Amino acid sequence: MKQKRRRWAYRLYLMLHGICLLIVVAVIGFVFERVALSPALASELHPKKSFMVTQVEGDTGSAADMPAIDPDDWKLQLVNQWSPLPDGFDVDVVEVERGYQFDARAADKLRAMLEDCRDAGLQPLICSAYRTHDYQTGLFERQIEKQKAKGLARQDAIDAAGQVVAVPGTSEHELGLAVDICALDYQLLDEGQEDTPEYQWLKAHCTEYGFILRYPPDTTEITGIIYEPWHFRYVGKQAAVYITSHNLTLEEYLQQAG
């Protein structure tokens, strides 16, 4: 009789022990699920992953939608103060209008964008496009003199000039894929350009032709250049749509591509 009671007590113990284990497992699973679904915590633990998939206004997809990047793609060549043009760089350019030249492989896209903007009743005006190395050097030296006239020492003037005019060899204009566009009735290259109907149209439609606003607001630390609402860069339609819809600079886009 005592032996039966012991067997029953032992079975009861095993049963209760099993129930306790099930409860513990269920609680742990619930907590894990809550943590896994917490966006704030996920962002803290995996900031890169969170950045890659975060949706923004006008976003057309996530990191999985990112176009494959060919490191030798001429459209995506990075040129900035940290990535100068290679020695002996040369590009085939053709005239677009009024003597301004552009990379021959993308000139038709620039012409189409300007034509459609004008068909919308606006008056976009190219004020700079392809520049030779010598021309860029002249622009940079003149900007240094302007900064020195403000009282800056030579080296400080060079540093300040480099945020306004690219150092020779580091300008996208030398690449042949950059164009400065202003409004006919507002030909000042300053932030007032963003208030013109021409800029508003270009900002809304430039990706359709493969262009991006190259130097957006608050990106100087990334691009090395001040905000320029007149400077557009050809990168091809796929890249342009992705960069713009994800609020990226070209530098960030190429960095994401790894």
- Of residues 172, 174, 198, 228, which has the active-site annotation? 228
d(CA 73, CA 254): 12
Smallest CA-to-CA distance from 114 within 180, 172, 174 is with: 180
Q: Which residue is listed with tokens 């002249």?
A: 138
Q: Would you say 96 and 130 are in contact if contact means Cβ atoms under 8 Å apart? A: no
Q: Is 130 helix (H, G, I), strand (E, B) or coil?
A: coil
State residue 103 phi and psi, 5-degree precision. Answer: -50, 125
228: annotated active-site residue: yes
d(CA 47, CA 71): 26
Q: Would you say 80 and 223 are in contact if contact means Cβ atoms under 8 Å apart? A: yes
Q: Which two tokens stand for residue 71?
A: 């490191």
Q: Would you say 131 and 171 are in contact if contact means Cβ atoms under 8 Å apart? A: yes
Q: Which residue is listed with tokens 């150092």?
A: 167
Q: Which residue is listed with tokens 């894929």?
A: 177
Smallest CA-to-CA distance from 154 within 170, 171, 141 is with: 141
Amino acid sitting at position 34: R
Amino acid sitting at position 134: D
Residues 94-121: b if buried by 16+ CB within 10 A, e if exposed: eebeeebbbbebbbebbeebbeebeeee
Residues annotated as catalytic are 228
